[in-house]
Structure formats: C-alpha cells, structure tokens
Amino acid sequence: MTGKILVIHGPNLNLLGRREPEVYGTATLEELNGGLVAYAKTRGAELRIVQLNAEGAIIEALHEAMTWADGVILNPGAYTHYSLAIYDAVLACGLRTVEVHLSNIYAREEFRRHSVIAPACIGQICGFGPTSYRLALDALLDQ
Ligand code: DQA
C-alpha cells in the first residue's frame, strides 16, 4: 500500500513519560513520535500524528482521514474497552486500521483484557511499548 498513515494517540497519552512509568515506560509522547517519524521515513511512509482525549474528536479524525489516508494506527486508550462509537467509526471510514497498545492489555486488569474495537481492525499489537507502533506501521505497509 502507499504510505499515508494517520496515527491517533487516545486519552491520557499526552502524559506519557510521567504517567505510570512502570507500566508505560519513561519515553514521552514527543520522543515516541520522533522515533516513529524517523522510522517511517526509512519506510517511505508519511505520518500525520494526533493526540486526542475526547471520543468525539477521535471519531472526527477518522472521518477526516477518509479524504487522504491509506491506513490508521490507533491507540484508543481506555476507549478500547467500551467505545462502540469508535468501533463504528473504524468500520465506517473503511480505512485499514491497526489497534496498538504500549502495555500488554492481556496481562493487566480484567477490564482491559477485552477490546471492542479490535474486531473492526485488521489486527492488534500490544505489549511492546513504542515498538508496538513501529510494528503496526510495518503491518500496514507490508500488506
Ligand atoms: C493503553 C491500554 C489501555 O488499557 C489504557 O487505558 C491506556 C493505554 C496502552 O497503550 O497500553 O490508556 O491503550
């Protein structure tokens, strides 16, 4: 596929580096994004990266991406576990989407072990910190 990719960081991910570093690591969102952009360059991909706390804003970003993006990397944060509106938006936009998580959601609290959004995605990658995003990019570009 051609490589215009929207990256959406969901709620609370603006606090990366300070937020529960034992779970999410010490890299800031800026550092994560810097590494991802550098990697995307080596793969010939073009990224637009947004961090959005509000559910509606994530949905609007998905709608807007229909006009330009080839794929989406989506970390829905806690919306992962209950937002049927984001699930619907992923289906509605028709863009190939990979769900990512920094942490291994299956090794955490019970409520995190289920994603309502993953069934709308081509796949899910979790547990590898910032590398989860790089793997998601590879997955989108290689298929
Ligand atoms: C997260 C996992 C979610 O359960 C949590 O609510 C987050 C971050 C992750 O990247 O590991 O906000 O999506």
CATH number for the domain spanning 58: value is 3.40.50.9100
For residue 123, what are the domain limits?
4-142
Ligand 1 centroid to Cα of residue 103, in Å, is 7
* Closest ligand 1 atom to Cα of 108: 4
Q: Tell me the whole-structure pTM to 2 decimals.
A: 0.97
Phi, psi for residue 135 in degrees, rounded to 5:
-65, -40
Q: Is 12 in the pocket of ligand 1 (CB under 6 A)?
A: yes
Chain position carrying tokens 């609290």: 109
Number of domains, the chain? 1
pLDDT for residue 40 is more than 90: yes
Q: Is 130 in the pocket of ligand 1 (CB under 6 A)?
A: no
User: For residue 40, what are its two tokens?
Assistant: 């995307």
Ligand 1 centroid to Cα of residue 101, in Å, is 6
pLDDT for residue 61 is more than 80: yes
> Given this model, what pLDDT does residue 58 score?
99
Q: Which of 9, 79, 87, 101 is catalytic?
A: 101
pLDDT in tens, 81-132: 999 999 999 999 999 999 999 999 999 999 999 999 999 999 999 999 999 9
